Amino acid sequence: MTNPALQRKIGPATATFIVVANMVGAGIFITSGILAARLPGPGWILACWLLGGLIALSGALSYAELATRMPEVGGEYVYLKRLYHPVLGFLTGWTSFVVGFTVPIAASALAFSEYVSGALAGTGGPSPAASAFSKKALALAVIALFTLIHYGGVRLGSRVQNVLTSLKILIIAGLAAAGVLAVRSPFPALSFPGAETGTLLGFGTAMMMVMFAYSGWNASTYIAGEMRNPRRNLPLSLIAGTLIVTALYLALNVFIFRSLPYAEAGGVIPIVAQASVRTFGPWMGKALGLLVGFCLLSSLSAYIILGPRVYYSMAKDGLFFSFARRIHPRFGVPGWSILCQGFFASVMVLIGSFEQLLIYMGFALNIFPWLAVLGVFVERRRNGGNAAAGAYKTWGYPVTPLFYLVASLGLMAVNYINRPLESTAAIVTVLAGIPVFVLWLGRKR
């Protein structure tokens, strides 16, 4: 019996929604409060979000060229194994499995439970003694639910994804618009106090957390093999999704810092909920906080869609467990990969710790996109600048990919200086995949 192949059923709207959903997750809803405790003014925070959007857009423009030259399922795994060596392709898939998808799924589920618990506090919600247990239980239940939804096929999963992402965009845009109309205080002056060495180093670390919130700008490349007309729809989804998210992030931060005095924002994790309570009153603020919690489900759903496609591509090459390449005969999805990913994300929920995970993930997830964007130069040099018919050419080349490479490398260097423990852990995680690759290659031979 032959293994059925993945079919091209995903259109440009769903692909764009997947990019938006994969980017707009726990990061934007918690990061600004952490940044406010580290940076001396809101001008610095808006600069972080704007610069992060420019870096993500330059990466998306570069990936659009790679994706249309190699329009297959697997994203960076495909690019790196072709551009450099199969070991780098394996390492990006290894990192995706250990860090890139399972940890964000867990983080999104935990953030959802935090927002829901905060919204229910004082309204018959769980007692403080049961709070920690109930948050973990809710996060595990959410992962199980969405794992089963996406196990049920692309058609069902796409519908759920589109509805959740549309809701997310409406909620964030509505919060930003309502903030402009309801908040009477002016936005604090965009000054940059404390522009000294310590602040600049703090800015670099803050940018790493911001880049975690922007991670996912490359999301639709993982499903290229399931997209209709990928040479046209891939660049459209990458660029449109990144621009939409950048605008939403900036608008949401304007709402936050028009609503909350800067001195009250520092260290607040559910900062959007607190800004909503301050602007609209306790009852409406809690209701909006609950809606923000549901926004996180869109991101969790997108991660569950994307990860198994990487494992599927690796398994086809004999570099992952053979069950990962099995396509469900009825539902047409890599079912065992989806279930396996859900299990390990649940383990992360049980052992997870939040702020360190942001730094750890941000560093680990920056390594392979950096190599992939460098691959634009490698691919052009290898083929004499010629591209396959209809392939997208990076706008602003060579400045656009160079900007991404310099900015991303600089952030990793600053982050290593400021947070060596988490950065070293990220590097060790990546390097741990090398002996695994050697063992797997020997087993394959």
CB atoms within 10 A of CB 388: 11
d(CA 416, CA 421): 8
Instruction: Tell me 391's DSSP state.
Output: -
Which residue, among 46, 47, 75, 70, has the nearest Cα to 59 in the 3D structure? 75
**pLDDT number for residue 292:** 78
Residue 230 confidence (pLDDT) above 60? yes
**pLDDT number for residue 55:** 93
425-436 pLDDT tens trace: 889 988 988 888
How many residues are recorded in the chain? Answer: 445
Q: Which residues contact 209 (CB under 8 A, 6 or more apart)?
A: 27, 31, 34, 35, 358, 359, 362
What is the phi/psi pair of residue 388, to 5°? -60, 155
Residue whose entry in the numeric block shows the structure tokens 């091209």: 8
**pLDDT number for residue 374:** 93
Do 334 and 136 meet the contact criterion of CB atoms below 8 Å apart? no
Helix (H, G, I), strand (E, B) or coil at 227: strand
**pLDDT number for residue 273:** 77
Residue 184 confidence (pLDDT) above 90? no
CATH number of 12-444: 1.20.1740.10
Residue whose entry in the numeric block shows the structure tokens 């053979």: 322
What is the pLDDT averaged over residues 140-145? Answer: 92
310-343 pLDDT tens trace: 788 777 777 777 777 788 777 778 888 888 888 9
Do 230 and 68 meet the contact criterion of CB atoms below 8 Å apart? yes
**pLDDT number for residue 399:** 93
Q: Greatest CA separation found in the chain?
A: 69
If you average pLDDT over every residue of the chain, what do you get? 79
The CA dihedral of 425, 427, 433, 438, to the nearest 10 degrees, is -130
**pLDDT number for residue 436:** 84
79-114 pLDDT tens trace: 888 888 888 888 887 887 777 788 888 888 888 887
Pinpoint the alpha helices (H) of 215-281: 230-259, 262-265, 271-280
Which residue, among 164, 139, 154, 150, has the nearest Cα to 24 in the 3D structure? 164
**pLDDT number for residue 74:** 65
**pLDDT number for residue 373:** 92
34-74 pLDDT tens trace: 888 878 778 888 888 999 999 998 988 888 888 778 766 56
Residue 18 confidence (pLDDT) above 70? yes
Do 396 and 334 meet the contact criterion of CB atoms below 8 Å apart? no
Two structure tokens written together for 436? 């695994």
**pLDDT number for residue 195:** 56
d(CA 19, CA 241): 5
Task: State the amino acid at position 103 in one-letter form.
Answer: V
CB atoms within 10 A of CB 257: 25
DSSP string, 152-188: T-HHHHHHHHHHHHHHHHHHHHHHHHHHHHH--SPPP
Residue whose entry in the numeric block shows the structure tokens 């890599």: 334
Q: Predicted confidence band at 287 (pLDDT cuts at 50, 70, 90)?
A: confident
Buried b (16+ CB within 10 A) or exposed e, 206-241: bbbbbbbbbbbbbbbbbbbbbbeebbebbbbbbbbb
Residue 13 confidence (pLDDT) above 90? no
